[in-house]
Structure 1
């Protein structure tokens, strides 16, 4: 019972003291009647995807040097609207060299004509001694069929007219006088791909091969001469 009375007395004492301390001086602060505005935060990372520029595979890469270098590689090109191809195929250079080497070999072996190596001097094929009454000559172009023409004479008399050379053999026949006969074959023209090229074979009246010759890259007007002695 005493304890209960003690608790009640202490409650009234604390309540009386609190009212005396804050009764007149205490004024409650009214709440602010102001809406709460959320703070705008700007994201530090862009939400847009970065723009990626694809490299131009057809453009020759620029020569780049450090900014501190005082040297320069190549020459500065001025701007031009003309379309150019800066790429060089190494295979083209190799092919060009191989073609030139092959051309030189073909010319050297007599398999290709070349205007730079035209023969401009008449040739003496020497002497032929025979008992034949006539000779038959077979002739052809042994390289390119490009319109080569020849003219043949025996003792300054034309034989058969102007003759064109083909890949297959043509032929003409001429009689022989007793004693010395002068037989000449002339490169009457050049072809479209170089000098005149002719192969010819001479047979006697029994069909025996007497002489086989050729000329390579002869200029127009060059002659080949035989002295035929009929015994």
Structure 2
């Protein structure tokens, strides 16, 4: 009997806890006044004429290395040997110049190990075989209007792979146009392009 009374008492208290109390402070939301009109901001009008687009100076001639290296007659295709990253051609950039001529200087950038290179100017051999030492060797090039492409091909890798070299390109006033290093395998080329304006 005590159990039944206890169950009834618990049920009564729990129902009272769930019952809704009405608050006398409750206010209903008033209906929208039909006389008041909602203010709509004015729409912005698009200009009748579009301003002319700024005229950009067309980019000078540029060489795309992806397109350049597709020519299998001039460039050895990349070797897909895992872990060997120097068995590929290396593009060293496009540079604009107003110089009449340019001087290219090159030497072995690391350990002097018998690296040899061949130098091309606009796909013509100008230095068939150069042994790289720790001293700079140079060649002077008369630039033509437009694209002047310089290719330096690794003829070997010396005693320590890869063929490592440093080169500098100067304009006719002695200012450095580019200074870089390459690491390429035998038969691959490092390419720099000078665009004479």
TM over 0.5: yes
Q: Whole-Å Cα distance in 1 between the matches of residues 161 and 152 of structure 2?
A: 19
TM-score (norm 2): 0.55
| Cα distance in 1, alignment partners of residues 138 and 146 from structure 2 | 24
Which residue, 141, 145, 150 being the options, matches 1:178? 145
Distance 2:148 2:108 in 1: 26
Alignment partner, residue 202 of structure 1? 169
Matches within 5 A, 1:43-82: none
> 1:51-130 alignment to 2 at 5 Å?
117=84, 119-130=86-97
Q: Determine helix, strand or coil for the equivalent of 2:133.
A: coil
Q: Secondary structure at the match of 2:120?
A: strand
Query: Relative contact order, CA 8 A, sep 6+: which one is greater?
Result: 2
Q: CA deviation at 1:118?
A: 5.3
Count of residue correspondences: 115
The structure with the largest strand share of the pair is 2
Q: Alpha carbon RMSD of aligned pairs, Å?
A: 1.4
Runs (4+) of structure 1 exceeding 4 A deviation are: none
Alpha-carbon distance in structure 2 between the residues aligned to 1:118 and 1:140? 21
Q: Which residue, 155, 161, 169 being the options, matches 2:122?
A: 155
2:192 equivalent in structure 1: 226
Which of the two has higher C-alpha Rg? 1
Which structure's residues are more often helix, by fraction? 1
| Distance in 1 of aligned mates of 2:92 and 2:111 | 24
Q: Deviations over 1:193-223 (max 9, x none)?
A: 222010001101111011000013x210111
Residue 42 (structure 2) aligns with: none
Distance 1:184 1:162 in 2: 13
Question: Are the equivalent residues in 2 in contact too, given 1:139–1:171 (CA < 8 A)?
Answer: yes
Structure 2 residue runs of 5 or longer lacking an equivalent are 1-82
C-alpha distance in structure 2 between counterparts of 1:132 and 1:192, whole Å: 38
Aligned match of 1:169 in 131, 136, 153?
A: 136
In the alignment, the residues of structure 2 paired with residue 129 and residue 211 of structure 1 have an alpha-carbon distance, to the nearest angstrom, of 10
Contact kept, 8 Å, 2:154 with 2:163, in 1: the verdict is yes
1:137, distance to aligned residue in structure 2 (A):
1.1
